[in-house]
Structure 1
Amino acid sequence: MSENIRIVLVNTSHPGNIGGAARAMKNMGLSHLYLVEPEDFPNGNAKARASGADDILENARVVKTLDEALQGCSLVMGTSARDRRIPLSLLDPRESANKVLEHFDAGVEGDVALVFGREHSGLTNEELQRCKFHIHIPSNPEFSSLNLAAAVQVLVYELRMAQLARAEAPLKQRKFEASSMLNEQPASADEMERYFEHLEQVLIEVGFHDPQKPRHLMARLRRLYGRAEVNKLEMNILRGILTETQRSLRGEPGKRGGSDV
């Protein structure tokens, strides 16, 4: 997927920002940089800011128009400083990353382009009209201006995280299957009911719960444990704690070592 993603910088005025963008791209596994009429490139400041991402700069495509940069792209997304009060198709960076994955999942041919505008004025309305989606980074409204390279970093980071989440999905499934073999599958409804009966009995025995004046105690505890999603191994631990509490109340010696369950 990374080989089909382009970072497009339009009319960049500071070469250091080009270098910073190249570094951000290489950090996150992207390599295709397109520069539309950069004011000063190549430049030593770009190489210095790239901090080792020289190959990205050396292979960057320098073109005269945005149309040239977008040739062969089937999805174009442009960054916009406008906020959600404007009725446009705006996405935040995380939503945009998911859109990119959905695009590739659909098997659509062609590259995806993420387009960034000028440092001081962004993309023109005409340029934004070339974009199917507009991406807005929800920064602090009292200090909302992001450095160009920082904006690139935010978007490519979200792309990276979306890719990793997708790649790890099968691994997570394997881990779940392995944990099931270790008796860590979720506790059944019957097991939970037996636990609540046991818990209520112990709470009565220790004087914490009066069944004549319940005050919704058990209902609240049910809700609490429902959020916890207790598994079978944890259920064994909880039932063991209750059993040892009852032993202690009866003055019987405990088993000890229960924490090793």
Structure 2
Amino acid sequence: MTAPDPKLLAAIRVVLARTSHPGNIGAAARAMKTMGLSQLYLVDPAVFPNSQADAMASGATDVLANARVCATLDEALADTVLALGVSARRRDIVAEVLTPPEAAERLLGEAQAAPVALVFGNETSGLSNEELSLCQGLVTISANPDYSSLNLAAAVQVLCYEIRQAWHGRERWPQPEVEGATGDEIEKFYAHLETALAELEFLNPGSPGKLMLKLRRLFSRTRLAREEVNILRGILTAAQEAKAAAARSGTHRP
């Protein structure tokens, strides 16, 4: 039997958003390294680097040293083709809800083509609606309903373990069906969509939030391919040009 491809694990990043305690960053790095993952991204951490993080990493300081610190979650996910948020709440924000084993299979399959990510939120508040809207799916860890609070590093450990188990379980993965659009390409599409809908007077530019959140959810139910994003943006551009042409025609009408 051929050994599993280590490049797949290298294409999976663990993203910690707005982490409050540096010790949790170190413990998460340790959890990752024990399962062979190394790509740690930190979004606006309260304190980092820090000696407490180093102490809790317990030998995984190389993961901390190579961690990438980003100002925003958009930046951390810009080149990924799949981002799964880990949360027990807000199922109404993200259409697809996966178990940890299902998430591991999806991530490893997509990692053959491009980087993918698991996104964890703040220790106290978890992932915000805005952060979840940047993810294409939600992962929930089954826990005691009377006490479902899971330490951040423990949650990272559960997901990394499932990834390693799935990675060891097979030597080949089906190729992704489509060339997925990256996070950056999808966010540019949403920005274009919001601008176009405002220009077409379909969207109130003063309060676009609710409609745009519903549209994000609609599009997240389908896996947007790069070609599809280009087509959709072409349609938006054509609509904007038609609106502008009609306005010019109306201005010069006798």
Kindly tell me: are residues 26 and 82 of structure 1, through their superposed partners in 2, closer, same or farther at Cα, counting changes over 3 Å?
A: same
DSSP-derived class of the 2:170 partner: helix
Distance in structure 1 (CA, Å) of the matches to 2:20 and 2:106: 30
The residue number in structure 2 matching 1:131 is 135
The reply on whether 1:122 has 2:129 as its aligned counterpart is: no
- Give the whole-Å Cα distance in 1 for the aligned partners of 2:100 and 2:141: 6
Aligned length: 166
Q: How far is the alpha carbon of 1:100 from its aligned partner?
A: 1.5
C-alpha distance after superposition, 1:61-97 (max 9, x if no partner): 0110001111210111111112879984111111101
Counterpart position of 2:86: 79
Superimposed CA distance per residue, residues 15-37 of structure 1 (whole angstroms, 9 cap, x where no aligned partner): 11000000011000011100000
CA RMSD of aligned residues (A): 2.0
Identity, in percent, stands at 57
2:27 is aligned to 20
**After the TM superposition, which residues 37-48 of structure 1 pair with which residues of structure 2 at under 5 Å, given as runs?**
37-48=44-55
**Contact 2:81 2:110 (8 Å CA) reproduced:** no
Higher relative contact order (CA 8 A, sep 6+): 2
**2:93–2:129 Cα contact (<8 Å) kept:** no
Whether the 8 Å CA contact 1:32–1:56 is kept in 2: the answer is: yes
8 A contact 2:30–2:57 mirrored in 1:
yes
The answer as to whether partners of 2:94 and 2:135 remain within 8 angstroms in 1 is no
In 1, Cα distance between the equivalents of 2:92 and 2:46?
33
Residue 250 of structure 2 is matched in structure 1 by: none
- Looking at structure 1, the residues matched to 128 and 90 of structure 2 have their Cα atoms a distance apart, in angstroms, of 16
Q: Is the 8 A contact 1:72 1:111 kept in 2?
A: yes
Q: 1:78 corresponds to which letter in structure 2?
A: G
Structure 1 pair 141–68 and aligned structure 2 pair: CA distance change class (3 A) = same
CA contact (8 A) 1:83 1:136 kept: no
**Residue in 2 that maps onto 1:141:** 145
Partner of 1:153: 157
With 3-12 and 77-86 compared, the bigger mean Cα shift is at: 77-86
TM-score between the two structures when normalised by the length of structure 1: 0.60
Per-residue deviation, 1:113 = 0.7
Q: Does 1:63 align with 2:41?
A: no
CA deviations over 1:121-154 (Å, ceiling 9, x no partner): 1111111011111000111111100000000000
| Closer, same or farther: CA 70–86 of 1 in aligned 2, 3 Å | closer
For the pair 1:32 / 2:19, whether they are aligned, the reply is no
Unaligned runs of 5+ residues in structure 1 are: 170-261
Map residues 71-220 of structure 1 onto 2, 5 A cutoff.
71-82=78-89, 88-104=95-111, 109-167=113-171
State the match for 2:201 in structure 1.
none
TM-score when normalising by structure 2: 0.62
Choose 1 or 2 for highest CA Rg: 1
Q: Secondary structure at the match of 1:94?
A: helix
Separation in 1 of the partners of 2:124 and 2:90?
Answer: 17
Q: Report the 3-state secondary structure (helix = DSSP H, G, I; strand = E; otherwise coil) of the residue aligned with 2:171.
A: helix
Q: Is the 8 A contact 1:22 1:53 kept in 2?
A: yes
* Amino acid in structure 2 at the alignment position of 1:133: G
What SS is found at the alignment partner of 1:73? coil
Aligned partners of 2:39, 2:53: CA distance in 1, in Å?
A: 16
Q: Point out where structure 2 has 5 or more consecutive residues left out of the alignment.
A: 1-7, 174-254
